Every structure is written in C-alpha cells, then in structure tokens.
Amino acid sequence: MTIAELHAEAPSGTTETLTMAAALNRALSDAMLADPSVLVFGEDVGTLGGVFRVTDGLAATFGEKRCFDTPLAESGIIGTAVGMTMGGLRPVVEMQFDAFAYPAFEQIVSHVAKLANRTRGAVRVPMVIRIPFGGGIGGVEHHCDSSEAYYAHTAGLTVVCPSTPQDAYSLLRAAIEHPDPVVFLEPKKLYWSAGEVDTTHVARIGEAAIARSGTDVTLVTYGTSVGIALDAAEVAASEGRSVQVLDVRTLTPCDDETIFAAVRGTGRAVVIAEAAGFASVASELAARIGEYCFEFLAAPVRRVTGFDIPYAPPKLERFTLPDVDRVLDAIDSLNWGDE
C-alpha cells in the first residue's frame, strides 16, 4: 500500500503515535498530496529513503520527478532549489548531516536569504532546508554539529527546531507553506522518540511553547535540550523547586513576548543549548532576557551550553553536552536568599 492509500484510510481528526522521523515523513507526504508544487530532493532521499528514513516511501508514492536523489554537491542542491522557486515550485531539500551543509553555506547566505530583499520582494524563495543537527548519537567527525547560530544570525532566514513529534509534523507543514526560506533543524537524537501526533493541529512559526509550568525559575531551551530541561525540572521538583520549561521552537523570529512573560513570572532564568556558548543562540536569548526583563530578575541569567571546543568525538560527547546535573547546578547558583 502506498503512502497516499494509507493516509486515505486513516480517520480524520484522530491522533497517531509516531516517532519524530515518522511524523516528518507524514508531514512531507501530506504536503506533497496537498500541493503538487512541493517536491523533495537531496542525497539518498529517493530509493533509500534518507539516512534517517525520513523520506521513506515518498519516491515510490509520488514518482522520481517529485522525490529524487541528487549528486553529492550541497551547493548544487541549494542552487537548484533557488532556481525552482523562481519557477513556481516549493522545494524541500535535505542536507544529509549538519556539517555536510557547510559547502552550501555561500548559496544559503548570499542568495537564499537575500533574494527577496535584493529584489524588493519581487522574487520570493519559498523553500525549506531540512538539516539533521546536534549530537547524542555518537556520530563521527562531520556528522554531528550544532550550527544553528550561523543560520539564526543571517537576516532573511527563518530557523525552526522542533522537540516533539507533534511539533515536527505541524511546524514542517507550516514551514513548507511559508512564503520565505526556512532552515528546519531536526535533532538527530530525537528521530526515534515517539509521541502523539494530531495531523489536524496547526502550528504557527514564531511561537514558543510552555512545555512545563512552574513558578520559581524558567528554563529556556530548544531541540534535544528540552528533554534535559524537563528531566532536571522533575529532580528540582523533588527538592521543592517549581521549574518552568519553555521550548523556544522558532529560533528566529524569536517569540520575545512569550519568553519575557515566562521569565518575568518566575524572576529567574537558565538558558540551555548543546551548541558552544560563545556568540551562540543561547547568548542572544540570555542577552535579550537580561535587557528586557532586568527589573524582574532576582539573579543573573545563567547559561548551560556545550563547551567552546570543536565538536567532541563519539566517546567524549557525553562529557561536553549539557546534562541534568549541569542544569541543576545552574539552578542552584541562582539567588535563593536565605533558604
């Protein structure tokens, strides 16, 4: 049975338990069913179904004109996609691993991000660049990196990072429908995590979400680190502290309103991210909170990040990425008065 036949038999308005990889696959197939201008291409995304099987079955269902393999040339993949948008198509391209995207960086920064501004809006670039990113899988060199700051720093790009299968589905559908380019960061460690997915749920790019309510401190994070924050919140709760967890979801444009309201409500904030701390997304979040929530803060904003070193090899990865103990230490370092 093809993907289209499976979806036709699924009852509408119901939820399914899907892994994040399966939720992304469902989002791609639903978008391709809904809009014939949507097509998917990249390295090994066709017959193989992608390294992480996110595109599994798409070529068989939609044909090789709408889901196809490309040469091992990332700059060519992105450049081709830009030309396709000018012809009225909506390409979704896959960069096989985060560090594999660097050869395409010039195309992304000079053309994908700037064409709309360069032409005063006459040429829009409605494309999605899917990038498996981050650590936690023991990947060898060039197969794991946290490159979000490069894209978030580049005006003209929208940068999205889901942490749940539901957000993976809903945000990818929103990204494909977006009129401008979206860099869609997919946490590799979470591809096999499972959760309930409602395919009728509509998500809006640019909205953060409260993953856990709390009154004493807000953990601001995204991607794989959301799970670390939730685990730390459970431990902190056993010690009598009420911890709120905020999932940023869209790195740019950043949902300042939700983030600031959350931090002002607790008076304390810890920002958590896998990437190195210097000149990072975590730096920007901490700076914005410090600038716009200063009078509400009982303590300086803390950051828990990866170390400022090249991405660690597989056997050392666990020593460099944020974990529950480091988050709890950051919480403990906040000003708790005489308790």
Handedness of CA 54, 183, 167, 212 (dihedral sign): positive
Concerning whether 143 is annotated as a catalytic residue, the answer is yes
Contact 238, 207 (CB under 8 A): no
Of 7, 111, 142, 143, which residue is the catalytic one? 143
Cβ pair 311, 146 in contact under 8 A:
yes
Q: Which residue has the tokens 């924050």?
A: 229
pLDDT exceeds 90 at position 70: yes
The encoded tokens of residue 92 equal 């979704």
Closest by alpha carbon to 84, among 21, 139, 37?
A: 37
pLDDT, residue 1, reads 44
Supply the pTM of this predicted model: 0.94
User: Hey, what domains does the chain have and what are their CATH numbers?
Assistant: 3-198 (3.40.50.970), 209-332 (3.40.50.920)
pLDDT exceeds cutoff 60 at 297: yes
Burial of residue 18 (number of CB atoms within 10 Å: 0-12, 13-18, 19+)? buried
267-to-72, 136, 263, 292, 297 alpha-carbon distances in Å: 49, 31, 6, 12, 4
DSSP bridge partners of 245: 212, 219
Q: What is the pLDDT of residues 216-267, one digit of tens each?
A: 999 999 999 999 999 999 999 999 999 999 999 999 999 999 999 999 999 9
